[in-house]
Each structure stands twice: as structure tokens, then as C-alpha cells.
Amino acid sequence: MSPRRRRGTILLVLIAVACVGVAIDQGAKALALARLTPGQPIPLVSDIFQLQLLRNSGAAFSAGSGMTMVFSILALVVLLAVIVAVVPRVRSMFWAIVVGLGLAGVAGNFIDRLVRSPGPFQGHVIDFLALKHFAVFNVADVFLTTAAVLIVLDAVFFKIDFNGDRSDSSDNGQATD
């Protein structure tokens, strides 16, 4: 496959992962809003894992509830920075998937902040997946966490750069930074 065609395929995968991820997240949130009632959790695995509808004006673990506008602007800045500075550098399937998942996560929660009540840039994120003694979160959060875990695993074990090369390649005995 030619480098240009391979690059196109990788970009297509990144965009597809991000778009499908956003669609899954927003679809799951729409279902949660239609089927769940705040304060009435539905046990899935005993009381360990439940469906529990919450509207979160803050960040993870509801931190910074009064800073919704700040989180909205920060999410927009992150989205734009990744699209402008990271996406053009991605040339490996691994990073296409990781960046796509990260974009899906940030975009999914950003969409909530744009379109949900009480209004644009102040909307509350819809959370509905609850783990006992942990947090209530959503599908976008799962995508963000998965991307973060893959980044850590890459840093510790694989060391794949955006081009798909291993920085500690044992093929030729030379490190590529």
C-alpha cells in the first residue's frame, strides 16, 4: 500500500472511531434519559454495577460543579488542539484508534455541555453507569479512560510513536526518537 493510501486509511479509521464513539455515547445518553429516573438506580450486577441517572455540571467525580463554563471551554480547546496538532501527525493504526477514542470521549461530553440544560457551555453531562464506591460515569468517560490506559501501556511496554515505529526497536538495535 502506498504511503498516501495508508495515511488515508489511518485517517479514515481515526475519524470513524471518533464518530462512531460519539454516536454510541450520545445514543446511550439518550436511552438513559428516556428510560432512567434520577434517584432510582437499576441494579445490573447486584449493587456493584448499576444504571443511575445523574446530571453532572462538574468534571470527574463531580469535581468543580460551579465551573461548567471553564470545563466547556477547556474541552473545546482540547478538541481543537488535538485536531490541529495531533491528528495530522498520526501515521499508525494504534494511534489512530487511541486518538479516535480520546476525541470521542472529549467530544461526547462537550456535546452535552453545548446542548443540555441549563444552556450552551453550561450544560450538564449525562452520567448513568455507576460502580459501587467509585463514581457515576458515561460511555464518553469509558472512551477517555480506555485511551489513557492505552497511552500508559504504550509508554511502558510498546513505545510506538505516531509513525508506528517502536522507539526501542529490536529490529536494528537502534532507538528511534
Decide if pLDDT at 177 tops 80: no
- Residue 127 annotated among the catalytic residues of the structure: yes
Whole-number pLDDT of residue 170: 47
Q: Which residue has the higher pLDDT, 82 or 46?
A: 82
Q: Would you list the domain boundaries of the chain? A: 3-158
Query: d(Cα 42, Cα 17) in Å, to the nearest integer?
Result: 29
- Residue 141 annotated among the catalytic residues of the structure: yes
Sign of CA dihedral 91, 94, 97, 101: negative
Q: Which of 127, 154, 161, 168 is catalytic?
A: 127
Q: Which of 47, 112, 141, 171 is catalytic?
A: 141
Q: Beta 136-137 vs 125-131: how paired, if at all? A: antiparallel
pLDDT band of 166, cuts 50, 70, 90 = confident
Report the mean per-residue pLDDT for the chain: 90
Burial of 54 (0-12, 13-18, 19+ CB in 10 A): buried
Whole-number pLDDT of residue 119: 94
